[in-house]
């Protein structure tokens, strides 16, 4: 058996159902000359975070086998450690996996793990709750809370909930502070983007860099309902940042106040906060496996950017 220890944390009820034959695919594909592998299954919400926390330092790699929620939990246990996180995407959106250019096919994802291509990325917190991909407040958080109570998983049930709620939803006023810059906005959505997309190739901040030490604060102001179709097209065409209703500001510490308690989502999972939140970036805090076959431009862009030079010190 190989010398590197790797643990696969499988969420048995994650979105796509591929995990039923995961063990057979893994055994056929994993490079046994590199790895001695172990598999464990989660039994309840939050279990993956406990397992990964116990595995840090004992395993060289810990792999989240599931959706964005599972990835978030595994990252919680591994943040600020030398244990490297991998992902076998099996969720509805797979936001971080897609940003890291990982294939959606299980055996191909295992092949990526065999290549051992590692990069260090940023994570972030919202009132000390960790997220790795995108968190937000406003309409998408409202939908996340309702979607969590539906029995069916996947993009279509999510779209159904979003469509039903769209006409009813009232944008809210927020006091926003980004690195000391203060302004007030009536916003439909405020997203805190560490990576470029929510998942399913829906790009909230197409130029977001996951290792630049900054979050993209994406503030979508109120817009006429008839514009919804065009905005949806821009979301999937990587052009939402060009919309006159979208304002994206990069920052390290974001403070937001509302007149009422805040519904939010962290990596798609619903959560409640009081009427004040503080969002912070945690630079270079998580080691991950990514797909070098697709090119490393998701990281090279950062190395060559003015932002990198500005914040290098």
Q: Lowest-pLDDT range, 109-123, 133-147, 252-266, 285-299?
A: 285-299
Alpha carbon dihedral 130, 190, 267, 73, in 10-degree steps, equals: 20
CA dist., res. 196 & res. 304, Å (int): 18
Query: What's the CATH class of domain 129-282?
Result: mainly beta
Mean pLDDT throughout 73-93?
A: 95
Q: Determine the distance from the C-alpha atom of residue 301 to the mean position of all C-alpha atoms in its chain, rounded to a whole number.
A: 19
The pairing of beta strand 4-10 with beta strand 35-41:
parallel
Q: Quote the pLDDT of residue 35.
A: 95
Q: Lowest-pLDDT range, 30-34, 98-102, 159-163?
A: 159-163
Superfamily for domain range 4-116: Probable inorganic polyphosphate/atp-NAD kinase; domain 1 (3.40.50.10330)
State pLDDT tens for residues 11-27: 987 655 566 789 999 99
Q: Quote the pLDDT of residue 180.
A: 95
- Comparing C-alpha atoms, which of 82, 9, 98, 89 is closest to residue 46? 9
Prediction pTM value? 0.90
For 279-296, letters b (16+ CB in 10 Å) and e give bbbbeebbbbbbbeeeee
**Average pLDDT, rounded, for the chain:** 89
Per-domain residue ranges of the chain: 4-116, 129-282
State pLDDT tens for residues 111-161: 999 999 999 999 999 999 999 999 999 998 988 888 877 777 766 777 787
* Percent with pLDDT over 90 in the chain: 70
Predicted confidence band of residue 300 (pLDDT cuts 50, 70, 90): low
Predicted confidence band of residue 296 (pLDDT cuts 50, 70, 90): low
Which ranges constitute the DSSP H helices of the chain? 22-29, 47-55, 68-78, 95-99, 106-115, 139-147, 155-166, 228-236, 297-303, 306-311
Judge whether 145 and 270 are in contact, CB under 8 Å. yes
CA dist., res. 150 & res. 157, Å (int): 8
Kindly report the backbone phi and psi dihedral angles of residue 268, in degrees, each rounded to the nearest multiple of 5, phi listed first: 90, -10
Q: Which letter does DSSP use for residue 83 in this model?
A: P
Q: Quote the pLDDT of residue 148.
A: 75
State pLDDT tens for residues 49-58: 999 999 999 9
CA dist., res. 64 & res. 72, Å (int): 9
Tokens 């469509």, residue located: 163
- Give me the numbers of helices (H) and strands (E) for the chain, helices first please: 10, 17
Mean pLDDT throughout 239-257?
A: 95
CA dist., res. 60 & res. 21, Å (int): 24
């Amino acid at each position: 058996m190989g010398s590197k220890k790797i643990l696969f944390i499988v969420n048995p009820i994650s979105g796509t159902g591929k995990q039923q034959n995961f063990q057979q695919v893994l055994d056929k594909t994993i490079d046994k000359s590199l790895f001695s592998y172990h598999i464990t299954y989660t039994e309840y919400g939050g279990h993956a975070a406990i397992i990964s926390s116990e595995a840090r330092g004992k395993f060289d790699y810990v792999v989240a086998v599931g959706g964005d929620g599972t990835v978030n939990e595994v990252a919680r246990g591994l943040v600020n450690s030398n244990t490297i996180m991998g992902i076998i995407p099996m969720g509805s959106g797979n936001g971080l996996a897609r940003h890291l250019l990982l294939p959606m096919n299980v055996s191909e994802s295992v092949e990526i793990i065999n290549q051992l291509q590692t990069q260090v990325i940023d994570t972030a917190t919202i009132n000390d709750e960790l997220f790795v991909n995108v968190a937000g407040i406003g309409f998408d958080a409202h939908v996340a809370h309702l979607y969590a109570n539906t029995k069916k998983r996947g993009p279509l049930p999510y779209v159904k909930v979003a469509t039903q709620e769209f006409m009813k939803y009232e944008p809210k006023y927020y006091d926003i502070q980004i690195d000391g810059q203060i302004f007030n906005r009536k916003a439909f959505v405020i997203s805190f983007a560490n990576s470029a997309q929510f998942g399913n190739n829906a790009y909230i901040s197409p130029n977001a860099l996951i290792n630049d030490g900054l979050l993209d604060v994406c503030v979508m102001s109120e817009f006429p309902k008839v514009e919804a179709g065009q905005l949806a097209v821009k979301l999937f065409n990587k052009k939402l940042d060009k919309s006159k209703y979208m304002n994206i500001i990069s920052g390290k510490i974001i403070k937001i106040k509302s007149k009422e308690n805040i519904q939010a989502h962290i990596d798609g999972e619903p959560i409640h906060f009081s009427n004040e939140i503080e969002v912070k970036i945690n630079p270079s805090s998580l080691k991950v496996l990514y797909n070098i076959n697709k090119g490393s431009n998701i990281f090279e862009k950062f190395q060559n950017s003015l932002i990198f030079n500005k914040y290098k010190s």
